[in-house]
């Protein structure tokens, strides 16, 4: 949503949840609530929304990046590294 209102996640069960944040010391706690008051307008950078299959509650998970620069340069697979070192010996 971003520019036009708060971030809303609609679960597979059809429930709507709004994204919120609390500060706990130096830590940021992100959570979803059915209360739209003071909801965030967008997802934090580097996170994606997942849904608990049993309860249907959404939660944030850090996106997995592979390699340097977030997947632009992919690292060599461990099997490739082993074969290269074996060829040198």
Residue 57, number of CB atoms within 10 A of its CB: 15
Structural domain span for residue 34: 2-88
- Model pLDDT, residue 64: 84
pLDDT digit string, tens, across residues 11-36: 998 999 999 999 999 999 999 999 99
How many domains does one find in the chain? 1
The beta strand positions in the chain, using DSSP E, are: 8-10, 16-24, 27-33, 47-51, 58-62
- The 10s digit of each residue's pLDDT in 52-72 is 999 999 999 999 876 566 555
- CB 49 within 8 Å of CB 43: yes
Residue 9's CB is within 10 A of a number of other CB atoms, namely 17
């Amino acid at each position: 949503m971003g520019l036009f209102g708060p971030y809303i996640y609609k679960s597979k069960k059809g429930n709507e949840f709004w994204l919120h944040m609390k500060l706990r010391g130096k830590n940021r706690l992100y959570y979803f609530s059915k209360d739209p008051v003071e909801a965030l307008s967008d997802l934090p950078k580097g996170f994606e929304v997942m849904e608990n299959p049993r309860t249907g509650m959404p939660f944030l998970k850090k996106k997995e990046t592979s390699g340097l620069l977030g997947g632009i340069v992919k690292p060599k697979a461990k099997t490739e590294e082993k074969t290269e070192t074996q060829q040198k010996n």
